[in-house]
Amino acid sequence: MAASGVARTSTAGPGPGVVVVGAGQGGTDTTAALRARGYSGPITLVSDETAMPYQRPPLSKGYLSGAVSGEDIELRSHSYFSALDIDLVRGDRAEKIDRDAQSVLLASGRRLPYEHLVLTTGARPRTLPVPGAELSGVLTLRGLDDAEELRERFARGRSLALVVIGAGFIGLELAATARKLGHEVTVVEALPRAIARAVTPEMSARLTAEHRRQGARILLRREVTALHGDGTGHVRVVELDGGERLPADLVVIGVGVLPNADLAVDAGLLVGDGVIVDQHLRTSDPAIHAIGDCARFPSPRAGRHIRLESVQNASGQARCVAAAVLGEAEPYTDVPWFWSEQYAMKLQIAGLTGDHDETVLTGDPDGGRFSVFCFRAGRLIGVESVNRPADHGIARRLLASGTDLSPHDVARPGFDLKTHPRESAQRTKEPNPV
């Protein structure tokens, strides 16, 4: 599906308009939201990738397994961009922002003037500072090219020995896909539990148990000290602390990402683990916004600046920025939500669960359908659900409206979130007994 060189999908117009740098989820959705809200000025969307803008979530799931094609994961088609008069520039990189002249210089030499600039440059995988990390067969997974390479290697070899370094979302999704394809999978994680930064210990334990049940080896509290290759420079062994040596045909490093903020740093914008923005997602220069994986924004839910890596966050912030460009700025306050798929477990998270001090587990964990309700100081802050989409949907609504749900409510025998809002409305109508 990828074309090469600089490709362009039509259009130019009067006035400088909006330039969006990065045509991933956030960038593509920004252009769509601008047109949906009636913005009629010129819009240019710049991508340093040659492929048409695509969704990343399938890269560790259906695209990797071969269940869906490149076309299936396109965010928008050629005809969409031309119909909406959006100038999609592919295979060209934004190299420099000239804030005084309000223009962006591309690697091709093209200069794009802007009235509003939106940075949606995403993030890149962290590297692993160990000897041998440069060997062939040591990969990361962020873009379509990475997924294509992995997919091809998975298809070429039978029962490959795959070592995944890092038990985060991407590492575990990749591990699940590889197991389903029949490969031998070992996941090595330095922390005491899987996805430790994003889910509760209960959820980590259930996910880890399922991976083990499916035949993956999950090694916790283990550090990789070196990777060793054969005579051809291809990785063959992953060495762990303590000297254990794991055979490896393929290694994927999934140890988190770094925000792509170099453009912003060079332009003198405020940056610190992401481009720092205000509640309207404006950078320290009011003509420039930043959203999605590259942006660090003040979250009213977390009570501090955070950076989120999710489709919901990129899309929600795209809508918020489009409103700001049209002079209808509102603070960004959307309830964060996220999903992941591993084997038959569809995990959905509503809210931010990291700061919880109390949890209540409901449902049927052994039957693979359950939810973990997370509270802080007695207030609901998030719900992690596995195969309970109704819990997830209702939790999002409750979190958005502010809720009276307490740990005591959830722990009551027979508690059902589906009937809870009705029940609590009923309770508030009933007169207090005297």
Residues that bind ligand FAD (CB under 6 A): 21-27, 46-49, 56-57, 59-60, 93-94, 120-122, 141-142, 170, 260, 263, 292-294, 309-312, 314, 338-340
Phi-psi region at 366: left, alpha or beta (left = phi > 0; alpha = psi -120 to 50): alpha
CA 421/CA 247 separation, integer angstroms? 53
| Closer of 314 and 410 to ligand FAD (Cβ) | 314
| Closer of 260 and 359 to ligand FAD (Cβ) | 260
Cβ 432 to ligand FAD shortest distance, Å: 44
* CA 87, chain centre distance (Å): 26
CA 165/CA 254 separation, integer angstroms? 6
Contact 43, 17 (CB under 8 A): yes
Cβ 86 to ligand FAD shortest distance, Å: 15
| Closer of 338 and 343 to ligand FAD (Cβ) | 338
Cβ 296 to ligand FAD shortest distance, Å: 12
Contact 194, 175 (CB under 8 A): no
Structure tokens at 365: 């964990």
| Closer of 121 and 362 to ligand FAD (Cβ) | 121
Cβ 339 to ligand FAD shortest distance, Å: 5
Structure tokens at 174: 């990749």
| Closer of 180 and 228 to ligand FAD (Cβ) | 180
| Closer of 46 and 405 to ligand FAD (Cβ) | 46
Q: Give residue number: closest CB to ligand FAD.
A: 24
Contact 30, 24 (CB under 8 A): no
Cβ 213 to ligand FAD shortest distance, Å: 21
CA 408/CA 188 separation, integer angstroms? 38
Cβ 341 to ligand FAD shortest distance, Å: 7
| Burial class of residue 170 in the structure, from the number of CB atoms within 10 Å of its CB (0-12 exposed, 13-18 middle, 19+ buried) | buried
User: Which residue from 293, 261, 289 is spatially nearest to 277, judged by alpha carbons?
Assistant: 289
Cβ 128 to ligand FAD shortest distance, Å: 17
Cβ 7 to ligand FAD shortest distance, Å: 13
Contact 87, 56 (CB under 8 A): no
| Closer of 22 and 132 to ligand FAD (Cβ) | 22
CA 348/CA 389 separation, integer angstroms? 8
CA 52/CA 86 separation, integer angstroms? 13
| Closer of 116 and 222 to ligand FAD (Cβ) | 116
Cβ 393 to ligand FAD shortest distance, Å: 16
| Closer of 27 and 351 to ligand FAD (Cβ) | 27
Q: Render 218-273 in DSSP notation, one character per residue.
A: EE-S--EEEEEE-TTSBEEEEEEGGG-EEE-SEEEE-S-EEE--HHHHHTT--BSS
Alpha carbon separation from 421 to 385, 395, 416 (Å, rounded): 18, 10, 10
Say whether 424 sits in a helix, a strand or coil.
helix
